Structure 1
Amino acid sequence: MIDPERAAADTPGCRGGGIFLDSAGSSLPPRDVLETVIGHLRREAEVGGYRAARERADDLEEGYGVFAEILGCAPEEIAFTDSATRSWLSVFNAVPLAAGDRVLITEAEYAGNAIPILRRAESVGAGMDVVPSTPEGDVSVEALEGMLDERVKLVSLVHAPTNGGLLTSVRAAAAAARRAGAYVLLDACQSLGQVPVRADELDVDFITGTGRKWMRGPRGTGFLYARRAVLDGLVKDSVDLHGGTWAERGLAVARDDARVFELWEASIADRLGLVAAGRYLLDLGVDEVHAAVRAVSGRLRTGLASIAGVRVHDIGVAHSGIVSFSVDGVPAPKVAELLVERGVTVTVSRRASTRIDMERRGLAEVVRASPHYFVSPAQVDAALEVVEAVRG
């Protein structure tokens, strides 16, 4: 069991006395992550970036094993990037797509994914179709099965949507898609670091994510998993001298592992910080973290639902640590502003980020709270009192 007080004591950002409920935005790093990043930047200032990187070559290499352990795969199926967006785009642009092909998304699709899907579909003459949801808000596997045919090349799934507490039923949807011969790309940007995300259990082809959210790593870091068995069928055009070799004057050869998605230039300090965040998660235990986040977010969700004039907007049966709500008569940005003024850090999720789901439910914006395991029950209760005061 994770002690939130001890976790907070190991988090420099918790010393200010506020209540941090924005790990779905950019979480607070633990001390070891912070010291790792700053320490390496100092070393770069002393001896230069190249030498400093060579000194940490073993640690950088071990990072692939750290994330392979977290994601339930082989180290050669892991790549590091500078963001979740870079990871997702690298994989998506490598999936062959031609005129007449189809990409399926769910109603929970994130704008950062939907925009490139729409743009590329338009450029090649492909189509994008939306899989309906169940009455509870989860992806309808039955509807998905009815939409799958030989033209579907990719099914894009969002594990934990940015605008609420849904946890998508990934395994069942992935199994249906793979039976039909489609690639399955899982956006785990909001799930890894708070719930178990394992390739060997979910049976997806690709997983992408970021370091700055629930992983508690630095900004400017991302990671991806690519199933080794599918790499040969991908388009490998966006490759530099790290992901490939200039073998002869007229011949370039791409790597045959997931690192084909990496670029030569990277922030070594940030990557070391991401690896440190991965080790920190493993030391705590993924299941223990999941239980702690589920408990603290459940307490917040239940408490908000009990306040008159406050509506919780989370959907689905299984929930993530994201809690979305609104206060009657007070715009979401104003609620967030008033909470921040009183020491409670939250943010706002707007329609443009998850347009299909928000339009379906008639929502323009919601307040988004996302407590991590370093938030105590007492802090949740204090945050609820602030919401009551804001409600007036």
Structure 2
Amino acid sequence: MDVEALRKGTRGVAHRTHLNNAGAGLLSDRTLEVMVRQLRLEADIGGYEAADVRRDAVEQTYASLARLVGGQRSEIALFDNSSRAFNAAFYSMRWAEGDRILTGRAEYGSNVLAYLQIAQRYGVEVVVVPNDESGQIDTAALESLIDERTKLIGVAHVPTGGGLVNPAAEVGRIARAAEVPYLLDGTQSVGQFPVDVEAIGADFLTGTGRKFLRGPRGTGFLWVRTAMLDRLDPHVNEIAASVWDGERGFTWKDGATRFETWERSYSNVLGLGAAVDQALELGLSEIAKRTFALGAELRERLDGLRGVKTHDLGRVRCGIVTMKVDGVQSEDVVRRLADVDINVTATEAEANQFDTEDRGVHPLVRLSPHYYNTTAELDRAVAAVEQIAQRAAA
């Protein structure tokens, strides 16, 4: 991987140390150029006409996403964010009183709220599977909790609030054996390391463009296993999703596009496609190798500072690193780092409800390097954190 060349094609690194890729990765120049070109085309010839001109490129975005996750083009639906993609699958399931949802303590806050709404609406039970001794989802406990009422297993591959990588493939093995649908939230994993839906055994996968894929904000996608389509009743219907029969009925369109809506930002869709293609060219294994190494180095160096402690769980940990500075509020650490042009963010209890119930550690400072970051940037961040910790201890 030619990191220097990648940095030359990433304008944001020239004036900031960006360690907030779990929030939003920096756009590459090539992605930005694709998006601007489409906007200019819309300005020149009109929005509908520009969409027609770029129809093949839009189609390629679907194909690239399918290749990225190991699925088929017909199994991909595009959305404006990953939460809408998650909701499109989740709310399309047919719920009844007494059904059970099994999930983990690492589940993302918006997913949890969706579970709780369905629980209130239909009398569904939400069961939180405990963590094992390492902090990842306890797969033995998961297996023991499955019964004839279990309607869904929903798991975050990587949480928003830490570097944990849940054992997604083992969860998939258990789900397949029990014939229970499996919804995997890949928001923080897709683009950071290889995600193969067949190897994992998921039935649904959701992802976003803006994070480790380095795509534009306002993009997300859903992958749905073809065999699941007839078990779902899409909760929104419109002209992009179905075909009117000429009278008082309709039929759903083939494939996952039945979950989509007609209007979209074509600039964003093409930008997402460009970002996915760049990730595929670089290779997800190579991306993971570098990103995980940067995360491990950063985690080790922060733990070596007096008054600083990291809080990442799991047997496998990715590029996301969370920590606290003794005597300093996490939001204040984020602000002080921003003052010296270092981008990080803080986790929220509301986005990590079940983890908060278990550990009570949020908010944490979250640092998330990616493959285009350098050791020199880690040096700068660690030195800045050390200075904050020293001032707090003085």
TM bracket (short chain)? over 0.9
The correspondence of residues 52-63 of structure 1 with structure 2, limited to 5 A, is 52-63=50-61
Are the counterparts in 1 of residues 18 and 369 from structure 2 also a CA contact under 8 Å?
yes
Are the counterparts in 1 of residues 10 and 27 from structure 2 also a CA contact under 8 Å?
yes
| CA offset digits 1:295-329 (Å, max 9, x no partner) | 11111111101111100000001012110000001
AA aligned to 2:300 is: T
Give 1:36 deviation, angstroms. Answer: 0.9
> How far apart are the structure 2 equivalents of 1:375 and 1:359?
34
> How far apart are the structure 2 equivalents of 1:334 and 1:97?
43
> How far apart are the structure 2 equivalents of 1:204 and 1:364?
29
Are the counterparts in 1 of residues 112 and 353 from structure 2 also a CA contact under 8 Å?
no
The correspondence of residues 225-236 of structure 1 with structure 2, limited to 5 A, is 225-236=223-234
Are the counterparts in 2 of residues 153 and 181 from structure 1 also a CA contact under 8 Å?
no
Give 1:173 deviation, angstroms. Answer: 1.1
Are the counterparts in 2 of residues 5 and 376 from structure 1 also a CA contact under 8 Å?
no
Match of 2:36 in 1: 38
AA aligned to 2:47 is: G
The correspondence of residues 1-392 of structure 1 with structure 2, limited to 5 A, is 2-16=1-15, 18-392=16-390
> How far apart are the structure 2 equivalents of 1:352 and 1:305?
26
> How far apart are the structure 2 equivalents of 1:13 and 1:125?
48
> How far apart are the structure 1 equivalents of 2:60 and 2:244?
26
Give 1:232 deviation, angstroms. Answer: 0.7
AA aligned to 1:151 is: R
TM-score w.r.t. length of structure 2: 0.97
AA aligned to 2:332 is: K
Q: Please, which runs of 5 or more residues in structure 2 have no aligned partner?
A: none
AA aligned to 2:46 is: G
Is 18-27 or 4-13 further displaced after alignment? Answer: 4-13
Are the counterparts in 1 of residues 101 and 150 from structure 2 also a CA contact under 8 Å?
yes
AA aligned to 2:287 is: V
AA aligned to 1:64 is: Y
Are the counterparts in 1 of residues 27 and 214 from structure 2 also a CA contact under 8 Å?
yes
Are the counterparts in 1 of residues 324 and 330 from structure 2 also a CA contact under 8 Å?
yes
Give 1:172 deviation, angstroms. Answer: 0.8
Give 1:248 deviation, angstroms. Answer: 2.2
Question: Partner of 2:14: helix, strand, or coil?
Answer: helix
AA aligned to 1:140 is: D
AA aligned to 2:180 is: A
Are the counterparts in 1 of residues 194 and 285 from structure 2 also a CA contact under 8 Å?
yes
Are the counterparts in 2 of residues 158 and 188 from structure 1 also a CA contact under 8 Å?
yes
Give 1:362 deviation, angstroms. Answer: 2.6
> How far apart are the structure 2 equivalents of 1:153 and 1:179?
14
Percent identical pairs in the alignment equals: 38
> How far apart are the structure 2 equivalents of 1:369 and 1:154?
32
Q: Please, which runs of 5 or more residues in structure 1 have no aligned partner?
A: none
Are the counterparts in 2 of residues 7 and 373 from structure 1 also a CA contact under 8 Å?
no
Are the counterparts in 1 of residues 88 and 235 from structure 2 also a CA contact under 8 Å?
no
Number of equivalences: 390
AA aligned to 2:319 is: G
Are the counterparts in 2 of residues 71 and 198 from structure 1 also a CA contact under 8 Å?
yes
> How far apart are the structure 1 equivalents of 2:176 and 2:126?
18
Are the counterparts in 1 of residues 333 and 388 from structure 2 also a CA contact under 8 Å?
yes
> How far apart are the structure 1 equivalents of 2:17 and 2:265?
30
> How far apart are the structure 2 equivalents of 1:364 and 1:326?
9
> How far apart are the structure 2 equivalents of 1:277 and 1:237?
30
Give 1:4 deviation, angstroms. Answer: 2.6
AA aligned to 1:218 is: P
Q: Cα RMSD between the aligned structures?
A: 1.0
Question: Partner of 1:248: helix, strand, or coil?
Answer: coil
Question: Partner of 2:205: helix, strand, or coil?
Answer: strand
> How far apart are the structure 1 equivalents of 2:270 and 2:334?
33
Are the counterparts in 1 of residues 310 and 322 from structure 2 also a CA contact under 8 Å?
yes
AA aligned to 1:9 is: K
> How far apart are the structure 1 equivalents of 2:218 and 2:14?
24
Give 1:39 deviation, angstroms. Answer: 1.2
Are the counterparts in 2 of residues 104 and 155 from structure 1 also a CA contact under 8 Å?
yes
AA aligned to 2:111 is: N
| CA offset digits 1:102-157 (Å, max 9, x no partner) | 11110111111000111112111111110111011111111011110111111101
Question: Partner of 2:158: helix, strand, or coil?
Answer: coil
Are the counterparts in 2 of residues 110 and 158 from structure 1 also a CA contact under 8 Å?
yes
Q: 1:3 to 1:306 in 2, by over 3 A?
A: farther
Misfit runs of 4+, over 3 Å: none
Give 1:364 deviation, angstroms. Answer: 3.0
Are the counterparts in 2 of residues 297 and 322 from structure 1 also a CA contact under 8 Å?
yes
| CA offset digits 1:331-359 (Å, max 9, x no partner) | 10111111111121100002111121123
| CA offset digits 1:152-175 (Å, max 9, x no partner) | 111101001011100000111122
